């Protein structure tokens, strides 16, 4: 009887040991962590920001009666604000933007036509007319269409523009007639924008502005000063702008 009991115990120990060895030989299960899903950046949302850059302008003076009054060019800096909203569909981004920039650049050129006319009609050598143009501010409202590669956006823009300008007609450096006007025109541009953070983007762009011939209206040279009334004097302006800026974005995924 004892022999059977000892045999049973030995068999049980042998089986238990084999099972334990098998358990030890079996590798422990590996639990892989869940993959982290990184959301893609979206350009959908609105933004406000500031910009600064350079401006180059060509001003062509003319008169409906006396013809070409000459032209001048000016360059300088500008700075201002912009704001708008975007909506992204796939990789395409559609938006609208308004911007306003301040500048203060002056340009002066000789007015040979008026100088020759006044010298011939009145005192020879007594007149030396010049045209001075000062650009004060520049604004636009544009539509934008762009294509995005995640955080980088390349875009084109087009729309309406407005330019505030003052004009001065001078004789031998003395102002004899001044006027101010706000001209309306158009603009087209191209640029690139990158999202440094979900709520902060930076951009660089080039814009071209065209302003058709605008009659200055109040620019009149009286009879005592030069003997003619320049009621038909107008100025046509073409403006180039290169600027960079930052935008603070509000919308899905910004914060």
Inform me whether the pLDDT recorded for 143 exceeds 70. Answer: yes
Higher pLDDT among residues 35 and 52, named by residue? 52
For 88, residues 6+ apart whose C-beta sits below 8 A from its C-beta are: 42, 43, 44, 94, 148
Residue 246's Cβ-count burial label (10 Å; 0-12, 13-18, 19+) is middle
Please answer whether residues 50 and 78 qualify as being in contact, where contact means their C-beta atoms are separated by less than 8 angstroms. no
pLDDT at 227: 46
Domain locations in the chain?
47-250
Mean pLDDT of 216-222: 49
- The overall average pLDDT reported for the chain is 82
Inform me whether the pLDDT recorded for 186 exceeds 70. Answer: yes
Higher pLDDT among residues 110 and 239, named by residue? 239
- Which residue stretches of 77-221 are H helix? 112-121
Distances (CA, A) of 39 to 42, 202, 240: 9, 21, 39
CATH number assigned to the domain covering 47-250: 2.40.160
pLDDT at 95: 98
Query: How far from each other are the two terminal CA atoms of the chain, in whole angstroms?
Result: 81
Inform me whether the pLDDT recorded for 93 exceeds 50. Answer: yes
Inform me whether the pLDDT recorded for 37 exceeds 60. Answer: no
Reported as a pLDDT band with limits 50, 70 and 90, residue 25 is low
Inform me whether the pLDDT recorded for 64 exceeds 90. Answer: no
Inform me whether the pLDDT recorded for 98 exceeds 50. Answer: yes
Higher pLDDT among residues 73 and 221, named by residue? 73
Inform me whether the pLDDT recorded for 74 exceeds 70. Answer: yes
Higher pLDDT among residues 242 and 58, named by residue? 242
For 156, residues 6+ apart whose C-beta sits below 8 A from its C-beta are: 144, 145, 146, 188, 189, 190
Mean pLDDT of 228-232: 57
């Amino acid at each position: 009887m004892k022999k059977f009991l000892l045999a049973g115990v030995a068999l049980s120990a042998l089986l238990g040991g084999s099972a334990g060895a098998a358990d030890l030989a079996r590798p422990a299960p590996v639990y892989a962590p869940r993959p982290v899903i990184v959301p893609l950046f979206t350009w959908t949302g609105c933004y406000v920001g500031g910009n600064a850059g350079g401006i180059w302008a060509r001003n062509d003076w003319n008169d409906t009666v006396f013809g070409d009054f000459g032209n001048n060019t000016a360059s300088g800096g500008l700075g201002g604000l912009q704001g708008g909203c975007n909506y992204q569909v796939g990789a395409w981004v559609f938006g609208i933007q308004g911007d306003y920039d301040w500048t203060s650049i002056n340009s002066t050129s000789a007015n040979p036509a008026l100088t020759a006319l006044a010298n011939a009609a009145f005192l020879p050598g007594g007149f030396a007319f010049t045209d001075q143009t000062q650009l004060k501010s520049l604004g636009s409202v544009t539509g934008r269409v762009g294509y995005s590669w995640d955080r980088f956006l390349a875009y084109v823009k087009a729309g309406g523009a407005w330019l505030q300008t003052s004009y001065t007609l001078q004789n031998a450096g003395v102002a004899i007639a001044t006027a101010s006007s706000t001209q309306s025109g158009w603009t087209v541009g191209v640029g690139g924008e990158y999202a440094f953070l979900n709520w902060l983007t930076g951009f660089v762009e080039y814009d071209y502005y065209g302003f058709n011939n605008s009659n200055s209206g109040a620019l009149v040279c009286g009879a005592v000063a030069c003997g003619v009334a320049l009621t038909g004097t107008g100025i046509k302006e073409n403006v180039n702008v290169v600027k960079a800026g930052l935008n603070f974005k509000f919308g899905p995924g910004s914060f």
